[in-house]
Amino acid sequence: MKNIKVLDGNHAAAIGAILSKPDVVAAYPITPQTPLVQHFSQYVADGVMDSTIVEPESEHSAMSVLTGASLAGARTFTATSSQGLALMYEPYFRASTMRLPIVMNIVNREMISPQSVWGGPQDSLTVRDAGWIQIYVEDNQEILDMTIQAFKIAENNDVLLPINICYDGFYLSHMTEGVEVPLQEEVNAFLPPYKPTHVKLDPETPMAVDPLTPGNYLQYYRELHMAAMDNAKRVIKEVNDEFAKKFGRDYFGLVEPYRMEDAEYVLVTLGSLTGSARIAVDLAREKGVKCGLIKIRSLRPFPVDEVNEFLKNAKAIGVIDRNVSFGWHTGIVYQEIKSAISSLDPIPTVPFIGGLGGEDLTTNLMVEALDSVIKAGENKQLENRAHWLINRKGR
């Protein structure tokens, strides 16, 4: 019998983490991630969770505690949002360059100013080049499943990189859905205990971690780090396939296609806004327009080959960004897509920005976006300034 529970996104993440049996967890509360920290405390108080919990005095220390624990050989987990991630930047960057397979969920929230506690992946997208793997997910089931998969991806010997599972604040963190919770035995069989093979601080095998390092060595480390990112593409797919076989839920690895068989007009999405984009695609399909969408799941490593494969026959593409790249007139995902397809013949690609600070990206707005994409395709119009997707009401 299926074990279905009604869970919000944070609770799903907490359960995913607990099922993965981390040795050490350290997390500092920040909206909209806070309930996740509370769930941990309660699970420990109730004796359900057998992890060592550290309650640090800041996010900077949360990441530092996990860096230390991971260097000692522990499986580690944390989660944060927005300003918390910003405060962590120094140890965040270092966790990846030390190749420590720390798992951290990011509950995406806008960066201030102005004050905002609501959703938007500006926080994690801004640090996309800090060397972490970043996976963006769409619903609460995917949060739980990917939190488990995250440990298996990060700890793979060909990867050994920290990983973020990113999900939209409030849209997912506080929304409840039916979520199938795997049994502990099933997860045990999928994810064995962690046996570190990387650098380790242990008096029995003394070594120095991070001595002063000249540029020629450092370049070599960066080269290896980039190669590990490449390996991660394969591992993400392998872990996805094994998970699909064992648990019956397939997320297609790096990119998830929707109605792409013969699609000419394609929307590109990230995260939970994919839902309303799917409906816009369905509505257009009903009218006989060949539309589809691709959901980018892995932003780092970026699935260049897959994106090219999906988009090579497109007549026009629209990229929906819930973030901005200051100094460009587009969002960040748009630039990623444009770079990825730069070797194809120019395809009209329309950048869209909307849904900032928790604003709704409604089906109507998605229909509006798709209409613009179809028009750009028909006119063979090349654009590089974002169309704002705005709810006219109340502005």
Is residue 330 within 8 Å of 386, Cβ to Cβ?
A: yes
CA Rg, the chain, in Å?
Answer: 21
Task: State the Cα–Cα distance between residues 249 and 73, nearest whole angstrom.
Answer: 31
Confirm or reject binding of residue 41 to other proteins (CB under 8 A): no
List Cβ neighbours of 15 (8 Å cut-off, separation of 6 or more). Answer: 5, 7, 144, 181
Q: Give the nearest distance from C-beta 94 to other proteins in angstroms.
A: 7
Task: State the Cα–Cα distance between residues 33 and 390, nearest whole angstrom.
Answer: 27
Stretch that binds other proteins, among 20-28, 172-180, 224-232, 257-265 (CB under 8 A): 20-28
Nearer to other proteins, 86 or 289 (CB): 86
Confirm or reject binding of residue 69 to other proteins (CB under 8 A): yes
* Coil/strand/helix, residue 143: helix
Q: Which of residues 195-224 bind other proteins (CB under 8 A)?
A: 201-203, 205-214, 217
Q: Give the nearest distance from C-beta 207 to other proteins in angstroms.
A: 6
What φ, ψ does residue 78 adopt, rounded to 5°? -155, 175
Task: State the Cα–Cα distance between residues 46 and 212, nearest whole angstrom.
Answer: 45
Among residues 26, 154, 263, 347, the one that binds other proteins under rule CB under 8 A: 26
Is residue 168 within 8 Å of 108, Cβ to Cβ?
A: yes
- What one-character-per-residue DSSP string does 304-338 give? HHHHHHHHTT-SEEEEEESS-EETBEE-HHHHHHH
Confirm or reject binding of residue 1 to other proteins (CB under 8 A): no
Nearer to other proteins, 15 or 69 (CB): 69
Question: Cis peptide before 214, with omega less than 30 degrees from 0?
Answer: no
Nearer to other proteins, 183 or 209 (CB): 209
* Coil/strand/helix, residue 204: coil
Q: Give the nearest distance from C-beta 155 to other proteins in angstroms.
A: 15
Task: State the Cα–Cα distance between residues 187 and 145, nearest whole angstrom.
Answer: 10
Q: What are 368's two structure tokens?
A: 């509006």
Q: Give the nearest distance from C-beta 198 to other proteins in angstroms.
A: 13
Nearer to other proteins, 54 or 283 (CB): 54
Count other Cβ atoms within 10 Å, centred on residue 104. 26
Q: Give the nearest distance from C-beta 201 to other proteins in angstroms.
A: 4
Among residues 1, 45, 46, 57, the one that binds other proteins under rule CB under 8 A: 57
Q: Give the nearest distance from C-beta 99 to other proteins in angstroms.
A: 14
Q: Give the nearest distance from C-beta 133 to other proteins in angstroms.
A: 21
Q: What are 318's two structure tokens?
A: 């629209």
* Nearest to 92, CA basis, from 15, 22, 161: 161
Task: State the Cα–Cα distance between residues 281 and 367, nearest whole angstrom.
Answer: 8
Among residues 24, 103, 160, 299, the one that binds other proteins under rule CB under 8 A: 24
Nearer to other proteins, 193 or 394 (CB): 193
Sketch the per residue contact string, 95 through 134, with other proteins: x for CB under 8 A, - otherwise: ----------------------------------------
* Nearest to 101, CA basis, from 145, 153, 28: 153
What φ, ψ does residue 339 adopt, rounded to 5°? -65, -40
Nearer to other proteins, 71 or 125 (CB): 71
Nearer to other proteins, 204 or 345 (CB): 204
Nearer to other proteins, 71 or 154 (CB): 71
Q: Give the nearest distance from C-beta 71 to other proteins in angstroms.
A: 6
Q: Give the nearest distance from C-beta 78 to other proteins in angstroms.
A: 11
Number of residues binding to other proteins, judged by CB under 8 A: 41
Sketch the per residue contact string, 267 through 306, with other proteins: x for CB under 8 A, - otherwise: ----------------------------------------
Q: What are 86's two structure tokens?
A: 């910003």
Binding site for other proteins (CB under 8 A): 23-24, 26, 52, 54-58, 60-62, 64-74, 76, 90-91, 94, 201-203, 205-214, 217
